[in-house]
Amino acid sequence: MNKYILRYSSDIVDSPIIATTVLETGILINILRAKVDYDEAELIITILGDDEDQKMVIESLRRKGVEVIRLGENIVNDDTRCVDCGACIALCPTNALSFNEEWKLVVDGEKCIICGACIRACPRRSLSLQDLQEI
């Protein structure tokens, strides 16, 4: 399922952007992560619907002044740096990181909510964020 980063600034941060968009479009939005300060907000969401539904929600958000960016594969592991120590696994709040049968680290991008905990914890700096995709 596609994930999107929404960013909006102080002039609209007090508005019920998500609720209004759901009411307008009739399409549900799932908030995976939210960081809201007095002057800006950054949310990570999924949109529950097909491609047309996603387009409708994105257009509605953009009309309200929200920047919308689609996320790619999220977290990527560099196999040449990773030593499969497992330090990142316990920190992941969504179980997106695990070992396979050969005790090699596996990343499940579908489950990742881009919290960044694993990136900060990795002693080998082997995890990174995939480039964001403009849509």
Q: Give the interface with ligand SF4 as residue ranges (CB under 6 A).
A: 75, 77, 82-88, 91-94, 96-97, 105, 112-118, 121-122, 124, 126-127
Query: In 3-state terms, what secondary structure has residue 37?
Result: coil
Specify the DSSP element, H or E, that contains 92.
Answer: none
Q: Judged by CB, which is closer to ligand SF4: 59, or 110?
A: 110
Query: Contact, 68 vs 6, CB < 8 A?
Result: yes
Encoded tokens for 24: 């307008």
Min dist CB 21 to ligand SF4, Å, is 24
Min dist CB 134 to ligand SF4, Å, is 21
Min dist CB 74 to ligand SF4, Å, is 6
Q: Judged by CB, which is closer to ligand SF4: 69, or 87?
A: 87
Query: In 3-state terms, what secondary structure has residue 99?
Result: strand
**Alpha-carbon separation of residue 65 from 9, 13, 35, 86, 123 (angstroms):** 9, 10, 17, 41, 39
Q: Judged by CB, which is closer to ligand SF4: 56, or 87?
A: 87
Q: Judged by CB, which is closer to ligand SF4: 28, or 91?
A: 91
